[in-house]
Amino acid sequence: MEDANFHTLVVMEFSKDAKQPAIEWMLSRIQASKSQGGAGLLVRSLVMQHNEETVIYISGDTERLLVAAEMMEMKKQYRDGSYREFSVRDVTNFKGAEDLDNFLTMAEKQLIVRHELESIRATEDDKHVPGYENIKLYPGKSLVKKYLSRKIVKNFFPLHDEEKIKRLGRDWYRGIVSSQPIYRVKDYFGEKIALYFAFLGTYTMALIPPCLIGIMYYITSWKSVYREAIFAVFNLIWATIFLEAWKRYCAEITHKWGATDMVSSQFEEPRANYYGKMGKNVITGKSEPVYPKFKRVLRFYGITVPVISLCLLFAFQLMLWYFACEEWVTRQYVEDKAWLNYGMLYMPTAVYAVVIAIVNTIYRMLATKLNDWENHRLQSSYENHLITKFILFEFVNCFISLFYVAFYMRDMALLRSSLAGLLITQQVLGQLQEAMVPFFFFSRRAKQMDSILKKSAVAQKLENFNGEVSESDQRQANIESTMEEYDDTMNDYLEMFLQFGYVFLFSSAFPLAAVWALINNITEIRSDAFKMCRVFRRPFAEQAANIGAWQAAFELISILAVITNCALIGMDPEIRKLLPSNITAVNMVIIFVAVEHIVLGVKAAVAFLIPDVPKWVQIDLARMAYQSKQALLKERLESTTKGKHFLKGLVTQDPDTVGYQI
Amino acid sequence: MEDANFHTLVVMEFSKDAKQPAIEWMLSRIQASKSQGGAGLLVRSLVMQHNEETVIYISGDTERLLVAAEMMEMKKQYRDGSYREFSVRDVTNFKGAEDLDNFLTMAEKQLIVRHELESIRATEDDKHVPGYENIKLYPGKSLVKKYLSRKIVKNFFPLHDEEKIKRLGRDWYRGIVSSQPIYRVKDYFGEKIALYFAFLGTYTMALIPPCLIGIMYYITSWKSVYREAIFAVFNLIWATIFLEAWKRYCAEITHKWGATDMVSSQFEEPRANYYGKMGKNVITGKSEPVYPKFKRVLRFYGITVPVISLCLLFAFQLMLWYFACEEWVTRQYVEDKAWLNYGMLYMPTAVYAVVIAIVNTIYRMLATKLNDWENHRLQSSYENHLITKFILFEFVNCFISLFYVAFYMRDMALLRSSLAGLLITQQVLGQLQEAMVPFFFFSRRAKQMDSILKKSAVAQKLENFNGEVSESDQRQANIESTMEEYDDTMNDYLEMFLQFGYVFLFSSAFPLAAVWALINNITEIRSDAFKMCRVFRRPFAEQAANIGAWQAAFELISILAVITNCALIGMDPEIRKLLPSNITAVNMVIIFVAVEHIVLGVKAAVAFLIPDVPKWVQIDLARMAYQSKQALLKERLESTTKGKHFLKGLVTQDPDTVGYQI
């Protein structure tokens, strides 16, 4: 027992009513060696002070973790600076191998522990979870996933590194003008979260030019007839360039992180909540639940599609009500210009913005339920379906009124005020919801926890008989268990997606949108960073090579923006005056449609011509591929030389003419 | 010397004025073993009967070829039916290994011989080609490529297999309704050519439905106002489905051929004609010519772009002249309805079609020259630039007049007659140029060759002192040396590309286009097949996993077709009558534009939703990847077990808890 060395990596919290046999079985399996179907990890079990639930503290010794890192094909920095799959036999050639205990970062160790825990699988003999006759098992099912889905295990999370997170937080959200420490964020939180912040940062920086132009228009009296057209054209080009530049930057940083070639999803295991009759996986041949595809299709088209269509119709109806209210208050004001009625003028937009936020929240719950119910086999397809559901509705809910004003009512003044109202209200609400409320709870919780821990300090001393888990780890586990779980980057991206839409879809109508977005994002980076460091339980450091479906979603908006902006400009009477007066109205429309098609074509060409991966990254990747190919050829050559003797017996010719060289 | 076993695979024909030291050096290098910087192949040199040039007949013994096949990572069918990289040590597990001499097909052996010949490289000692002081060499330069580019070697081609090609030809172009023997075409001509014929076949089959609808419209008197709209909508959907279906079929056959993962182009060597100052390749570190990128960019934007722009302008001007003529003859006919003037009515279109064909030919030569001059480093980028140049000009040259008639003159009757005139004339010209002329030359050449060979029979008996090269091989070499070289699939694809454009871009105006295209293609398959078998020198069996840039080119046309057809229908007065009469002209245009955007969106959605690779191929690929991953993990495990003992010295913990299982 190396008590002094027990550094807790991951904490597993059982629910209050978890039965003792189930807990003990899990404990024994975690400690059992790999060959006995266990995980070969170190555990200490204690009782949580603040709610008396059983908690197990999990760690692993250095050798165990290093071997697992190799089996997981984890990438580490080689002495030549490149990233290679870690190999125990080659360990001395990796950077930082002098101190093997700290060779892996805490985040990496936690990821390994999770992987190893999730790899504990039911064997042929395990028919059900001990203590729960009704919770059936099948060979190959991950025990931890079963415990989680059946709520025997309540939480399962890595511990924060108090010292590191304090230092990271200081440099991250306390700096005012400094750039984000993305590399350290990646080391601590993993590639997926780091990429979100990198994207947020890039996008915020990219908002500066349209912001400056917007301000310039606002403060100067320069009112050209070309004004909107210039701004829109600039924005359309800029949005394309920004998205391409982000793709390149993303390729660059993930290359530096050694995260470019991700494990394919083909061998992804079914999600924890996936259910179905037992069958065989056609690829691996292993037994796993199989849910007929036609049932999923039936559920999707039979229930999901109609329900979502109804939601979209409701969002549309909501908008019609909004305009009815809008009209009513305007009439009131025209009839009686009292100050109350003047104030009322702004009410419908503000109320509508709040209602949109509420409806969005309700819809998100509904969509998540539907998505769960569709029973997707893989986490990745589950996420993609959820993102699509979210985007579709939020797009309609947030933007339909603007489309209605712009293209049905054709009221530019109303478009401007609606856009401003929606954007600003939603941002203020978002900031409140995201930053202020959690901060309040965070402060209160920390104080409460301290008092609980102090009170139970004496009891704890007695109970914690072997004193192996350090007090700070226990305190941390207690605090984190009450913290909110960080769901995913989903909601953060969605917020940026809507903002991107507000700024670019109607940019020619409201140039100041970029200014509001910029102000919001400067605080957003900091409040999101604060949440990551202080409000949420530590997430596992998920890997990612890009921002996935979101890239496509933002690109879709940038295409739509071309259509909307061309239409807005085409409808502008000022611009129309610039064309020769003998052109008929029909031809004028055709001209604008032609321009729109050309802009779309140019946009496609620009996106095609800018390489998605910077040249130096391409060369670096090619060089690595070339080297490994050369190594493979060398190996082949050696084996073929042996093979020649084998061939001699099979063919009649004299093989002396053969003598390969590389 | 195994005289009886010398089966000629490849023939290298030196030019008449090739100097003897250069020929002898090449001969010695080809025969020298790999370790001495040679190719380890077997050669016999003779003098060609019909033109007295030196010819070397090249072959290789079975063992040599098998070892090379492994080094080239050639895929062969394993006993479980899948395709795996051939391995000499594992040879008994491959299909057909009972007869090792015929284990590799003749086409594969020829490909290996070419690869081995091209791998003969200059060493440090080789400063120039013997006999040619001015032809400098640098270490690593392929000798054969140098000989070819400096015209010391005139031709370098594989020999036909007379018996096989006769049988293949019989089943291929003599069958009237039968489908093509694509698998045998692939075995004989390689994946690249087989894919062209598979594409041509699929496309031809896919022409049947629009063809039937077209005929139905023509023979029945059913003239609905929806007629054009129905046909256009059907065609737009159909074109998308065809292109998606082709992608799936292509993935399926290349998977069956084991040709799915091709060697990446990253390590592609510079083209034979690439020149520049000696430098270092940044990826491989080998020395090779380096041509500064800015020079290529300068040439491209400074010369190529202006020249091609001028060509496009010229094509436009040509069209204007055509319409001037058209107008003139119409006026003549209106003034004097003589039969001569009536006949003259059809002249401009026919002449224009011929002129287009001539201008196309001239432009292709010019574009090829420009492309050569741009000095692209890789064959692939050379080809892509050439395809782009070709497509751009031919698109304008062939279609601009139709766009002009359709959207500037808005004359549907003229559009129909122009379309018919252009399509039919070009197809008749194409058939003449491609099939009749080569057939005539082929017949004459075969007779001439026979008489030459008979005359020289006695002389030959004396000269051919060692009698090793069979008479049939010599006859074949003599015939093929006078045959035309099959350039590439480029021109064949280009022809189909233009036809695809004629059929789909204006399908609502001329539904019968599909009928003409179908008739043409049924003969086209056969005449192309005949050319491959009888007219052209045998090409090397190039590999390919898909039709490359052409897929994108056809998809581009199918997108353009949506725009043109929507516009044609939108301009149709009959269709317009169907809309409520109180809609203004402007709103009517807006409605059609909206419809067009929706159709484009639906098209994009259809293309996105239809998986590019059929499910069973995906599963098969995933299963193979899974198996190799498992094998790799096993290997890792073994090496890690050894590594553990190594680790023991580095870490302090007890490693007994570790005991992996897979």
Element (H, E) at B135: strand B132-136
Other Cβ atoms closer than 10 A to B610: 14
Structure tokens at A60: 């692993």
Q: Kindly determine whether residue A659 and residue B63, on different chains, have CB atoms separated by under 8 Å.
A: no
Identify the weakest region by mean pLDDT among A50-54, A110-114, B595-599: A50-54
What's the pLDDT band for B26 if we cut at 50, 70, 90? very high
pLDDT confidence tier of residue A23, bands split at 50, 70 and 90: very high
Closest chain A residue to the Cα of B660, Cα to Cα: A34
8 Å CB contact between B79 and B86? no
B220 touches chain A (CB under 8 A): no
Among all chains, which residue has been given the structure tokens 């293949």? Answer: B168
Q: Are residues B265 and B123 in the same domain?
A: no
- Write the CB contacts of A344 (distance below 8 Å, at least 6 apart in sequence): A329, A332, A333
With CA atoms as reference, the chain B residue closest to A102 would be B651
Ranges of H-type helices in B257-338: 293-299, 305-335
For residue A64, being part of any structural domain is answered with yes
Residues B237 and B355 in one domain: yes
Rounded Cα gap, residues B503 and B511, in angstroms = 8
Using a CB–CB cutoff of 8 Å, tell me whether B118 touches chain A.
no
pLDDT band at A510 (very low <50, low <70, confident <90, very high): confident
Q: What is the pLDDT at residue A2?
A: 41
Nearest neighbour of B589 by CB, restricted to A590, A626, A658: A590
Closest-CA residue of A relative to B619 is A283
Q: Which residues pair with B48 in a beta bridge?
A: none
Nearest to A530 by CA among A423, A453, A443: A443
Identify which of B360, B362, B361, B382 has the alpha carbon closest to the alpha carbon of residue B371.
B382
What are A422-450's pLDDT values in tens digits? 888 888 888 887 767 767 776 777 677 66
Among A122, A28, A110, residue whose Cα is nearest residue A69: A110
pLDDT at B267 over 70: no
> What chain A residue is nearest to B408 in terms of C-alpha separation?
A587
* Listed residues B106, B135, B158: the one ending a domain: B158
- CA of B188, closest CA in chain A: separation in Å? 25
Structural domain boundaries, residue A44:
3-158
Phi-psi region of A548 (alpha: psi -120 to 50; beta: other; left: phi over 0): left
Mean per-residue pLDDT of chain A: 84
Secondary structure class of A142 (helix, strand, coil): strand
Residue A275 CB neighbour total at 10 angstroms: 11
- Where b means 16+ CB within 10 Å and e means fewer, B545-578 reads bbbbbbbebbbebbbbbbebbbbbbbebeebbee
CA distance B159 to A406: 70
Chain mean position to CA A105: 22
Instruction: Please check whether residue B662 is in contact with residue A34, taking contact to mean a CB–CB distance below 8 angstroms.
Output: no
Identify whether B167 is part of a domain.
Answer: no
Interval B326-369: pLDDT, tens: 888 888 888 888 887 787 887 888 888 888 888 988 999 999 99
Strand order in the sheet with A42-47: A42-47, A54-59, A10-14, A153-158
Interface of B with A in 603-622 (CB under 8 A): 619, 622
- Give the C-alpha separation, A97 to A79, whole Å: 10
- Contact with chain B for residue A163, Cβ under 8 A: no
Are residues B597 and B640 both part of a single domain? no
Output the CA torsion sign for A112, A117, A118, A123: positive
In single-letter form, the type of residue at position A80 comes to D
Contacts of B408 in chain A (CB under 8 A): none
What residues of chain B lie within 8 A of the CB of A637, using their CB? 71
Quick count: other Cβ atoms within 10 Å of Cβ B169?
A: 15
A82 CB within 8 Å of a chain B CB: no
Which one, of B353, B285, B284, lies nearest residue B325 by Cα? B353
B662 close to A (CB below 8 A)? no
> Within this chain, do residues B497 and B595 fall inside the same structural domain, yes or no?
yes
CA-CA distance, B414 to B349, in Å (whole number)? Answer: 11
A449-490 pLDDT, tens digit each: 666 666 555 444 444 444 577 878 888 888 888 788 887 888
Nearest 10 degrees: Cα torsion B80, B82, B85, B89 = 0
Which residues of chain A does B40 touch, with a Cβ-Cβ cutoff of 8 Å? 657-659
Distance CA B525, CA B527 (A): 6
Question: Side by side, which strands form the sheet with B42-47?
Answer: B42-47, B54-59, B10-14, B153-158
pLDDT band at B581 (very low <50, low <70, confident <90, very high): confident
Q: What domain count does chain B have? A: 3
Among A residues 234-273, those touching chain B with beta carbons less than 8 Å apart: 264, 266-267
Asked if residue B62 and residue B47 are part of one domain, the reply reads: yes
Cα distance between residue B648 and residue B600, in whole Å: 64
Q: Do A89 and B589 touch (CB under 8 A)?
A: no
User: Do residues B240 and B132 both lie within one domain?
Assistant: no
Mark whether B126 and B189 lie in a shared domain.
no
Give the number of C-alpha atoms closer than 13 A to the C-alpha of residue B283, restricted to the C-beta side: 22
Kindly state whether residues B602 and B626 are assigned to the same domain. Answer: no
Question: Looking at the structure, do residues B489 and B564 belong to the same domain, yes or no?
Answer: yes
Interval B385-401: pLDDT, tens? 999 999 999 899 889 98
B341 and B434 share a domain?
yes
Alpha-carbon dihedral angle through residues B570, B572, B573, B576, given to the nearest 10 degrees: -30
Range in A5-9, A399-403, A603-607, B167-171 with the lowest mean pLDDT: A5-9
CB pairs A-B closer than 8 Å: 183
- State the average pLDDT over residues A522-531: 88
What are the C-alpha distances in Å from A420 to residues A333, A424, A508, A567, B335?
21, 6, 13, 20, 68
Would you say residue A260 lies in a domain? yes
Chain-chain contact of A651 with B626 (C-beta, under 8 angstroms): no
- Overall size of chain B counted in residues: 662
Q: What is the DSSP letter of A572?
A: -
Rounded distance, CA B659 to CA B644, Å?
Answer: 10
Prediction pTM value: 0.86
Domain boundary among A579, A594, A613: A613
For the cut 90, the answer to whether the pLDDT of residue B577 exceeds it is no
Which site among B651, B654, B656, B661 would you substitute to test the A interface, given the most A Cβ atoms closer than 10 Å to its Cβ? B651
* Cross-chain Cβ contact A283/B623 below 8 Å: yes
Q: Is B662 part of any domain? A: no
Residue A163 within a domain? no
Residue B163 lies in a domain: no
Find tokens 């809507």 and name the residue: A498
Q: Do B651 and A100 touch (CB under 8 A)?
A: yes
In single-letter form, the type of residue at position A263 comes to V
Question: What was the pLDDT predicted at B177?
Answer: 56
Q: What does DSSP assign to residue A246? A: H
Minimal C-alpha gap between A651 and chain B (Å): 7
- CB-CB contact of A509 with A415 (8 Å): yes
Residue that is written with structure tokens 């040199």 in the block: B45
Q: What is the pLDDT of residue A159?
A: 92
Does residue A101 form part of some domain? yes
Beta strands in A244-379 (DSSP E): 277-280, 287-290
Within this chain, do residues A180 and A124 fall inside the same structural domain, yes or no?
Answer: no
In this complex, the residue of B100, B264, B586 whose CB is nearest that of residue A589 is: B586
* Pair of tokens at residue A595: 């321009």
Residues A319 and A277 placed together within one structural domain of the fold: yes
- Are the C-beta atoms of residues A147 and A153 closer than 8 Å to each other? yes
Instruction: Tell me the residue type at B98.
Output: E
- The answer to whether residue B549 is domain-embedded is yes
Q: Is the dihedral of CA A101, A105, A108, A109 positive or negative?
A: positive
Taking an 8 Å cut-off on Cβ atoms, the answer to whether A644 and B590 are in contact is: no
